[in-house]
Structure 1
């Protein structure tokens, strides 16, 4: 199989917008001021003059998901966001998060030379009360989990990626770039909320291809009281879904033990 070559025109940031986030303009600025200028679009299921105005201000295409009113699920939004991009590589940019200037450049560079890439994902930091932090327990544990996947020769290993996923979801969803041509037609399956990304990684991990790890902190995930992650944890939705995911890798008794310790790490998502 020939090695793949990608350029700036092959990549799209698709900003998944919802409501009127006070942080979204910072996100837009971070993806439109990349050192490697790629494509940027905005997708939403909650159209408004606010969002349309921002799209016009920054000269980016604006797409409205008309089907969301009939199927209220985040999976629908994310699938729609990917479908609106006409490029081989797609990053779903979460509206509250920030992307460092070399994100697109380094992701595209790491895709080059692969044979059948599935996804790429990067290391990341968190933004807490306006302060960027990276050297914290939760993130360091995830880096340990991802350590075996640093070498390029490990990227095609289904065994290694599934072992990594069997202990939790160390892959940061907003840092992921997808290669739709090598993935299932329906990337995200409705039903999950907090575990929708982990569910996708598990499905993708079974396929032939490469999980491309960019071992650089290239995006910043914002933690705040109104975030979906915080709300799910406080409502125990995440705990239930995490257990279901562990059961995909382990017998139930072992899954219970792992989930007990995994839940403690989630506390760091609360401010």
Structure 2
């Protein structure tokens, strides 16, 4: 099946070109395009330099709506590449190989490392917790179980959004991410998809790098205390309110690692 990287670009990111280079320098021949809701000369310049098409979201604006727009900008296997992040050369190849063995997969995703101050961070407390939550999904025979799929989501969002490849032929909903959330768009999306038939395929190799920096949307949201409110809403989808409240208090402390 065809694989496409849709690079989701927003305003003018100094890391956009690095992201584009990483998705174009893959061992698997994938298509690459840019999606944006903020068209500008900088994005046009990058598109021209690398001979990429640009699709513009002229519909409802917001992070979740931008994600859905990017997801439906191509067919087959689609990776929404966030402009600040980078991908290892074998990312696309590994995703396609995993799909060929699991063609009923809804999503396929890899482990990842963080990029802080332009340095690779292979592990920290946050990454360790996520890997523990994802451990049951290492057994692909379990990966179609609704209970197991949701196990990666019950205590927080263990799935890194830019590490995910979507099988658009398996996704039945046109609106995966669309919501009024500002932070937990991806967690909301995985929860929606966990209710559909099909597998969540986890590849335990670190195949991409997710950049953490002070200008990132995630950091801004944590500073505004928006994430805490949204986490509680999500946790209540899995737990009674009093348990959700206790987990949320613990999770808030873990968020501080994004600011360290």
TM-score by length of 1: 0.93
Matched with 2:236 is 247
Question: d(CA) in 2 for partners of 1:113 and 1:31?
Answer: 23
Moved over 2 A (4+): none
Question: d(CA) in 1 for partners of 2:116 and 2:253?
Answer: 19
Matched with 1:227 is 216
Shift of 1:163: 2.4
Shift of 1:72: 2.6
TM-score by length of 2: 0.97
Question: d(CA) in 1 for partners of 2:179 and 2:146?
Answer: 25
2:158 equivalent among 166, 170, 178: 170
Question: d(CA) in 1 for partners of 2:150 and 2:55?
Answer: 35
Q: Provide, for residues 200-243 of structure 1, a one-character-per-residue CA deviation record: whole Å limited to 9, x for no partner.
A: 11111111110011110001000110100001111110000000
1:108 equivalent among 93, 96, 100: 96
Question: d(CA) in 1 for partners of 2:230 and 2:73?
Answer: 29
Q: Supply the RMSD in Å over aligned alpha carbons.
A: 1.0
Matched with 1:3 is none
Alignment of 1:79-98 (within 5 A): 79-85=68-74, 87-98=75-86
Whether 1:154 aligns to 2:146 is no
Question: d(CA) in 2 for partners of 1:78 and 1:200?
Answer: 10
Matched with 2:9 is 17
Name stretches of at least 5 consecutive residues in structure 1 with no aligned partner: 1-5
The answer as to whether partners of 2:37 and 2:61 remain within 8 angstroms in 1 is no
Question: d(CA) in 2 for partners of 1:117 and 1:134?
Answer: 27
Alignment of 1:115-154 (within 5 A): 115-154=103-142
1:260 equivalent among 226, 245, 249: 249
Name stretches of at least 5 consecutive residues in structure 2 with no aligned partner: none
Question: d(CA) in 1 for partners of 2:53 and 2:206?
Answer: 28
Shift of 1:66: 2.0
**How many aligned residue pairs are there?**
259
Moved more, 235-244 or 109-118: 109-118
The answer as to whether partners of 2:6 and 2:78 remain within 8 angstroms in 1 is yes
